[in-house]
Structure 1
Amino acid sequence: MAVVDLSFNGFNGSIPASISNLTQLTSLNLANNSLSGEIPDLYLPNLHQLNLANNSLTGIIPKSLQRFPTWTFYGNNVSALTYATSPSPSPILLLSKRGRKLGGRHALLGIIIGGCAAAILGLLLLVILCCSKRNGQTFLSRKLRKAENSPEKAVSRGQDGTRLVFSDGCCYSFDLEDLLRASAEVLGKGTFGTTYKAVLEDVASVVVKRLKEVNVGRREFEQQMELVGRIRHENVVELRAFYYSKDEKLMIYDYYTQGSVSALLHGGRQVESRIPLDWDTRLKIAIGAARGIACIHTQNGGKLVHGNIKASNIFLNPANYGCVSDLGLATLMNPGVRQISRVAGYRAPEVVDARKTSQQSDVYSLGVLLLELLTGKSPMNVIGSDEVVNLVRWVQSVVREEWTAEVFDVELMRYPNIEEEMVEMLQIALACVVRMPEQRPKMSDVVKMLEEIRRLDAGNHPQSTSKSGGSTPSPLAMKAQSSSSPK
């Protein structure tokens, strides 16, 4: 059995066609990287498990890989027409494959178990991908040096020149040149640009967001950055610094070692050794995110909007509560920007222009996030050639049919005595995602409702226990297991 798991590594470049030489390969996981280009036609007769989800792959899915389910390619811009004859998966992507064993390994080792020939070729694949990653580490520096050496820099070296501008109270002391020298690792690509982890010599790692599709003047950009930079709240990721030039716009944040909620919730679900995101943490994520967004809504005379709420923009603060980032950029976007499918599932139905989000649409997006925490499923799912399943509509239909137990993530069924809390959060989420904006609760009210789910009375609340803890399954868990068993 030969297994390669290189997921969540920030690899970029194209997938090498030489993978076809790994004839003994049984499992290949390249999900949640930044791989681009077309998917090569891979002839791997022993390959039974494949995951290329959440990259930047394009083109047509080759015939040799059409036997795999659609979730294999989720989060890429690949043609779905090739799935006309492929088997249809269940309504939502990333359903838990509880019986599947991937035998995951540390991504950087890329361990290949099998014959000597397969092992050597597997190491060759790892070298190719690592070289691609190293090339990506210099990409940010090359782009910034181009901006640093531009004519604009020559005429604006004074206080208003092209330089890093730090937020008030920021204790960082690095400058643009330090940032240029830092190694950069791609963390992900989103609606507003690409995010890098920059490792500085004398400072802890920072996150650099290189904005795209933003073409506003210096004054408008700086005003918005200063507004965002003034926000101080334990559930809002602080903007540490920003950078403006004609060709480059950057935002600098602290680096969160645990990764985003999206990675924590969806990453490695097929890996046997995965540690699930427990209910206590999910509830804290929901409460913290709501508190952070409510704080944002009080800024600028109560007019500020986040505009881009999604699981990949939520992180965990030191107390494990949700902490929101990437705020206030929607108004700076160029008109007519194509929206990424991964973001569309969070967007309120009334939002046609991404620049015209509102506080009510923020409430809707948070509601989708709550459903994502409850179900463990992504907001959008493409099935077959043209069918798109929306998480909100799916949950509404399941609840309408009184099969509420089917909604909840199977990974939560191991924890006892949480049914009431899950149902309460489900009711709050459904109130947030009603179609009419004026019927949605205010974010401050959402915070109160979420806080009432858990009144911080830890002594009276049973803590989440592991699957091996020997706890008796809850009635809701038994109902879910019964309804999901083969008929």
Structure 2
Amino acid sequence: MKSHFGLKLFSIVFIWFFTLGKPDLTSDKAALLTLRSRIGGKTFRWNVNQSTPCTWQGVSCENNRVTALHLPADQLYGVIPVGVFGNLTRLRTLSLRVNALTGQLPSDLAQCTELRNLYLQNNRFSGEIPSFLFKLHNLVRLNLAGNNFSGEISPAFNNLTRLGTLFLENNQLSGSIPELNLPKLVQFNVSYNQLKGSVPAKLRSMKSEAFEGNSLCGGPLGLCPGEKNITAGPVGEKNKKKKKLSGGAIAGIAIGSVIAFLIILLIIFLLCRKRSSRKTRAVDINSVKHPPEMEKPLGDGDGHDRNLGGGYSGAAAAAITAPSVPSAKADINNPGNKKLLFFGNASRFFDLEDLLRASAEVLGKGTFGTAYKAVLEVGTVVAVKRLKDVAIPEKEFREKIEIVGSMDHENLVPLRAYYYSVDEKLLVYDYMTNGSLSALLHGNRGAGRTPLNWEARSGIALGAARGIEYLHSRGPTISHGNIKSSNILLTKNYDAHVSDFGLAQLVGPTSTPNRVAGYRAPEVTDVRKVSQKADVYSFGVLLLELLTGKAPTHAILNEEGVDLPRWVQSVVREEWTAEVFDLELLRYQNTEEEMVQLLQLAIDCAAQYPDKRPTMTEVIRRIEEIRHSDVRHEQDPQPDVVNPDDS
């Protein structure tokens, strides 16, 4: 009996100890409070009375465990004690960059075996790079730049086979660079250390900036002493002499070059004359209901302009002018309505006749009609949208368009005036000089392209969000209904303006083609009845497009019909990898963390169920926090080896 009682007591005590020692959110909270008590910083305004730390600033949780700790640029100082990270065993992201932390890294960080992203740059950590880091086999990004680490670079880095980013610059590392065989490595930098010797063969494809500030040679830094040049020595000199061109050959090459140059000039002159003759054709803006075959769009015809800036969905180049005012009036023959109606304080220095006389360029055919760039005789440039499939009565049209015209926000494309007749409905907008976001993302990706960097893309995301949030603030039933990258227009400073808002209420359901399905929320069945939560979904797809560089229409062309949100989920799964981001974004250092945060926001917006999506007000707050975190430290725009042409 006593033996049975003792066994039972032992079992109870064992279970009690096992439960007490099992890591959970309570132990995670205790670990965070220990960190808070041992190092200083302005961030630690945590409400310790809350039962969960998941609402604390910089703390993220999944499945009742802390999975991310983001405390960048928060004036943290002191030595991180041992015993904190041993309890935070589910951490996947740790960011303590741009602070004043000192000492060595705590050894219990080795227990965070699920760690993917470790950002410790720009602190004052010292000592050798600890060997326990080489046991964190799930590491994808490791940034130790801008510290006081010393000693040699260990060949044990080869244990981190999933590593895509390794930044070690601006430390006190010495010795040579070991042979690194990291198959997924795309970002690497060891500049401004005390390294010497030859750059290893597998790293010689990196840019020279990754190695400068050391005593290194080889690869992008030029030949090392003793390395042979195939043209060096007597044999090389002999070959040079043999290959020396005669005077006659040089003269022939020069004459041939001049002739080729003249031929090229002649071709350019003929092309310019042909284009000029095309642009002088006189076509009535009101008569271009069916443009001739020679004026087909240069884009892909699905509303995503590829090459031309300035406007709206699609891209087609054609010059059109009204031959005379009488002929224009003959086409627009609704008595009493032969004038433009302006909104508010819009300038009224032109009328319908001026508009019809203007030279115009067809920007393209979009969801709601054809858009034109019209240059008035006084030099003013406006955008004119000629609506199609509008069958509602005049009174209803005017009531709805008055609501659109009353919208006034710095991130909306302002509607200045409109014209209504039985046969024609014209809308006059401000002209946006930098074209659409779709054109910038998916246009020319060859040589000479200026890529959109992180600052520009995050700024565009914030501007577009503010424009949409303003629409939502006008009433719970007001939504945009057609959010996509070709409806985000940009000024010369890349300020984002949302266009085409309110037009879904004017047209019939057949006018919205299937291509919008790439942005359409799964619950939407009638494009004229789009909720604000559905707008949030479309904005989430837009964010994914900004981050991945892929158009959602591309994703639905394959056999399985996988959309962009689903593709991103399949790539990301339970970890953040560089594979999901546009290669043009990976050219910039020190923005990976912000990119990951914006990616998470995009996924939240594109949630399957509407009640899981944030409001646009919440979206703006999160983007502002991401951008605020980004500007608190100095960015290094050094490009890596990623070639944008490979995308």
**TM above 0.5:** yes
> Is 2:394 the counterpart of 1:249?
no
Structure 1 residues without counterparts, runs of 5 or longer: 1-112, 468-472
Q: Secondary structure at the match of 2:427?
A: strand
Superposed CA offset, 1:408-440 (max 9, x none): 000111111001110011001001111112221
Contact map agreement 2:434 2:492 (CA 8 A) in 1: no
Q: Which amino acid aligns with 1:285?
A: I
**Aligned mates of 2:556, 2:508 — CA distance in 1:** 31
Matched AA of 1:370: L
Could you say if the C-alpha distance between residues 120 and 296 of structure 1 is closer, same or farther in structure 2, counting changes exceeding 3 Å?
same
Q: 382, 396, 412: which is aligned to 2:569?
A: 396
> In structure 1, which of residues 263, 272, 275 is the aligned counterpart of residue 450 of structure 2?
275
* Corresponding residue SS for 1:434: coil
CA distance in 1, matches of 2:278, 2:541: 35
Q: Give the letter aligned to residue 226 of structure 1.
A: E
1:327-476 alignment to 2 at 5 Å? 327-337=501-511, 339-341=513-515, 343-381=516-554, 386=559, 388-400=561-573, 402=575, 404-455=577-628, 458=631, 460-463=632-635, 465=637, 467=639, 473=640
Conserved? CA contact 2:512–2:527, under 8 Å: no
Amino acid at match of 2:628: R
Q: What is the distance in 2 between the residues matched to 1:464 and 1:284?
A: 18
Change (3 A) 1:130 1:370: farther
Alpha carbons 1:380, 1:388 under 8 Å: kept:
no
* Distance verdict in 2 for CA 1:410–1:253, change over 3 Å: same
* Amino acid across the alignment from 1:199: V
Deviation at 1:457, TM superposition (A): 7.1
Secondary structure of the 2:439 match is: helix
Q: TM-score, normalised by structure 2?
A: 0.50
- Give the corresponding residue for 1:213: 389
Partner of 1:298: 473
The one-letter amino acid paired with 1:465 is: P
What amino acid sits opposite 2:633 in the alignment?
Answer: H
Q: Is 1:149 the counterpart of 2:330 in the alignment?
A: yes
Q: CA 1:234–1:463 in 2, change beyond 3 Å: closer, same or farther?
A: farther
In structure 2, give the amino acid aligned to 1:331. Q
Mapped to 2, the partners of 1:114 and 1:352 lie a distance apart of: 60
- 1:138 to 2:283 alignment: yes
Over residues 321-378 of structure 1, what are the superposed CA-to-partner deviations in whole Å (9 max), with x where a residue is unaligned?
321111001111113335152x321111222222121211111111111011101111
Question: How many angstroms apart in 1 are the aligned matches of 2:586 and 2:413?
Answer: 32
Shift in alpha-carbon separation, 1:213–1:131, aligned structure 2, 3 A: farther
Cα offset, 1:115, TM superposition = 11
Equivalence for 1:314: 488
Where does 1:175-214 land on structure 2 (aligned, <5 Å)? 175-214=351-390
Query: Which has the bigger relative contact order, CA under 8 A and spacing at least 6?
Result: 1
Q: Which amino acid in structure 1 is aligned with residue 634 of structure 2? A: P
Q: Percent identity?
A: 52
SS in 1 for 2:460: helix
Per the alignment, do residues 380 and 401 of structure 1 end up closer, same or farther by CA in structure 2, a change over 3 Å counting?
farther
Counterparts of 1:152 and 1:217, CA distance in 2: 17
Residues 250-306 of structure 1, C-alpha deviations (whole Å, 9 max, x = no match): 111111111111112222112x1111011101000000000000001122x332111
Instruction: Report the Cα distance in structure 1 between the residues aligned to 2:594 and 2:471, rounded to whole angstroms.
Output: 26
**Following the alignment from structure 1 to structure 2, what is the Cα–Cα distance between the partners of residues 396 and 384?**
18
Distance in 2 of aligned mates of 1:406 and 1:195: 36
The answer on whether the counterparts of 2:590 and 2:635 sit within 8 Å (CA) in structure 1 is no
For the 8 Å contact 1:371–1:429, the answer to whether it is kept is: yes
What is the TM-score normalised by the length of structure 1? 0.65
Amino acid at match of 2:467: G
Cα–Cα, structure 1 residues 281 and 141, in superposed 2: closer, same or farther, change >3 Å? Answer: same
| Equivalenced residues, count | 351
The 5 Å alignment of 1:46-125 reads none
Q: 1:289 to 1:399 in 2, by over 3 A?
A: same
What is the DSSP-based 3-state SS (H/G/I as helix, E as strand, rest coil) of the residue aligned with 1:413? Answer: helix
Aligned partners of 1:389 and 1:269: how far apart in 2? 24
| Secondary structure, counterpart of 1:202 in structure 2 | coil
Q: Alpha-carbon deviation of 1:149?
A: 2.4
Larger radius of gyration: 2
